[in-house]
Structure formats: C-alpha cells, structure tokens
Amino acid sequence: MVKYGILVISHGSRSESWVRLVDDAVGAVRLPEEIPVFSSFLEIVEGRLIQDGITHLESLGVTNIVVVPLFVSSGSTHIDEIAYALGAKKAPQLPTDMKPFAIQARIHLTTPIDDDPVIAEIVYAKIKALSTDPGRETVLLVGHGSIENGFHQRWRRGLERLAERLKRLGGFDEAASAMLLPNQIPDRMEHWRQRKPGHTVIVAPLFLSEGYFTEEVIPERLQGYSYRYNGEALLPHPGISRWIERQIKPFVDKMQDGTRTRL
C-alpha cells in the first residue's frame, strides 16, 4: 500500500528562534491527517537531521517521501548535494562530504523557492511600508548568491525573475538583484546613484530568516549609500506554509485520487 509522507529540509541554525520559525511554518501546513510531516535540517540541529527524518517517516510506514527543500534558490550548492545524497542524481556537481542516505522509500524531490509568485508577494508585503512613491523608487533584491559556475547562473536567473515580479506588484520604476557572493551591491548602488540620483532605493533581503546576513552583512555592504531597509526576511509569514502546500499538492491530489478509486 502506498503511503505518502512529507520531509521538509532547511539549512539549520544554532539559533533556537530560527529553528522555531521554520517549525512554526511547517506546522501550519494544511494536510490530510494521514500524511505525516517531518521538519528536518541539513546540519546543526541534533536529532532533526535529514536521515532522522527519513528514518522517522519510514517507521510510520511511509513508502513515498515528498522532499521539500526550503531554500531560496536552486543555485544553492546545498540543493545539489542534497539531491545526490537522496539518490535523485548519480553524482554531485561539486565535491561534497555528504554520503548517500539510507532510504527504503521512494523519493520525490520538489524544487526550491526561486521566483515563485507566492514568495514575491511575501517579499512585497515585507517592504511595502518602505514605499511612498513607487514611480520614483527602485527595488534591489539581495540574495546570498554563489561564485560557482552553473550555480551562479541559477541564482541570477531566480533573483532577476523575482525582482521583476516585485516591480510589477509594487509599480516600482525599476527593480534589480544583487548577490552577496560575489559582492554586487556596490556596483548596483553606484549605477543608480549616477543614473537616477532622484530615486530612492528600497533594499529587499531574500533570506529565509533574519540573522547575520540581514543584520550585519547587507548593511555593511550598503555603507556610504542612501537607501531604505528594514531587514525583514521571509519568515515569519503564512505564505511560506502556503508555498509548501503548493509544492506537495500534486502528490496529495494523487493520493486522494487513489483513495477515491479504491472506494
């Protein structure tokens, strides 16, 4: 008998509040009662690692595990190594210390956030209060980024598409993106300072939760420039739970169709 279970994977943190925000979002996912969910982490959170989640779900009789990577970009090198360790690809694109997991169930790996319209709405909701005159404002969407070939391009593609969604949502004059790795913020800010000196730049961080990058790194990279920034990350927001639901909906529908067929 086929039984589905959900494994949500996020990075992990030593911050209990960071972990709690993720757990709250996963806990708010609306699912049929018979589908178990496990919130797991790539590292740091003992007893909650990916293998722990797989083992737990299989102990409940799960035969098909839907894996939801709660990462903001498919350009993350972690997505590559997780896919390899789950058996979704034969070899990682980059060297990794991760070893293949012990898995009996069938794995269904979904996609990271990238430019999902639900996420665009969350980011816009976070920066909306900073906007007073959209026609004279520019939005700079900032993500972690990567210098690795292939991964950099995926980061750029997702950020650029998400920035375009933000532009349309808020009616902003312009929107663009910048990565922290490599450091693209100074070039973007200098470009706008010279090209549109009368415009206000609103900086939107694309990070799952607030922390070191939103509180220290981004403000440091913006020193010397005029901008508006509140440092608000994606969580907390109910839209993250809705995004997870969108990722797993095809599998939930398939399970429910199978149940109706048997009836």
Token output for 260: 């109706």
Residue whose C-alpha is closest to residue 127's, from 227, 22, 10, 20? 227
Q: What was the pLDDT predicted at 259? A: 55
Dihedral pair phi/psi, residue 232, rounded to 5°: -80, 125
- pTM of the predicted protein model: 0.90
Tokens at 29, concatenated: 């996912």
Using CB atoms within 10 A of its CB, is residue 209 exposed (0-12), middle (13-18) or buried (19+)? Answer: buried
> How far, in Å, are 21, 124, 131, 143, 232 from residue 208 at the CA level?
9, 14, 22, 10, 10
Q: Please name each of the domains of the chain with its CATH number.
A: 4-112+237-262 (3.40.50.1400), 117-221 (3.40.50.1400)
C-alpha to C-alpha distance for 107 and 105, rounded to whole angstroms: 6
Q: How would you write the pLDDT of the chain (263 residues) with one tens digit per residue?
A: 889 999 999 998 888 999 999 999 999 999 998 899 999 999 988 899 999 999 999 999 999 999 999 999 999 999 999 999 999 999 999 999 999 999 999 999 999 999 999 999 999 999 999 999 999 999 999 999 999 999 999 999 999 999 999 999 999 999 999 999 999 999 999 999 999 999 999 999 999 999 899 999 999 999 999 999 999 999 999 999 999 999 999 988 887 766 544 44
Query: What is the C-alpha to C-alpha distance for residues 159 and 75, in angstroms, rounded to an integer?
Result: 10
